[in-house]
Amino acid sequence: MIDETDRRLLKAIQRNAGLTAQELGEQLNLSASQAGRRRQRLEQAGIVTGSRAVVSPEALGLHVQAFVQVQMATHDPAQVRAFTRIIDTRPEIISAWTLTGEADYLLRVYCTDLGALHRLIHEVILPTPAVARVQSQIVMDQQKPDAPLPT
């Protein structure tokens, strides 16, 4: 279903989602219309699910990035829904995963400062009845930026 040209196209648009069909065609040695049709086919197949701009957190005043592990006290569906509503509605939480092992959730958060991270953990997450324990790791430096998926 995906050939080598599709793989090159995926690699190119993961680096720069704003490429025009003309620019994409030039990179792939295709006409603009061929490149556009390939991109559209990959979108319709659900392989390409959207495009985003990369924004500098520091430019927005978000100077603290952290990973927050959450261990649940209960897996009661109603209480878990209350917790997942927090995940869905708090803008500081930019991504979340459910995990195997000791922690049930891993949250990636961006905050303006350590005080904002403290408030998120101690005033929002920990008071939730479903939450038993929280452990956070503050990011000192990001060694490798979020990279494109291997194609």
pLDDT of the residue at 45: 97
pLDDT of the residue at 118: 98
pLDDT tens track for 84-120: 999 999 999 999 999 999 999 999 999 999 999 999 9
**Coil vs helix vs strand at 138:** strand
pLDDT of the residue at 63: 97
Helix axes 32-44, 21-28, angle to 10 degrees: 100
pLDDT of the residue at 144: 94
pLDDT of the residue at 1: 86
Residues in the chain predicted with pLDDT less than 70, given as ranges, are none
Alpha carbon distance 95, 122 (integer Å):
19
Reported for 100-108, long-range contacts at CB under 8 A and 24+ positions apart, including other chains, are 102/69, 102/71, 103/69, 103/70, 103/71, 103/135, 104/70, 104/71, 104/72, 105/69, 105/70, 105/72, 106/67, 106/68, 106/69, 106/70, 107/67, 107/68, 107/69, 107/70, 108/65, 108/66, 108/67, 108/68
Query: Which domains does the chain carry?
Result: 4-44 (1.10.10), 58-138 (3.30.70.920)
pLDDT of the residue at 151: 87
CB 93 within 8 A of CB 44: no
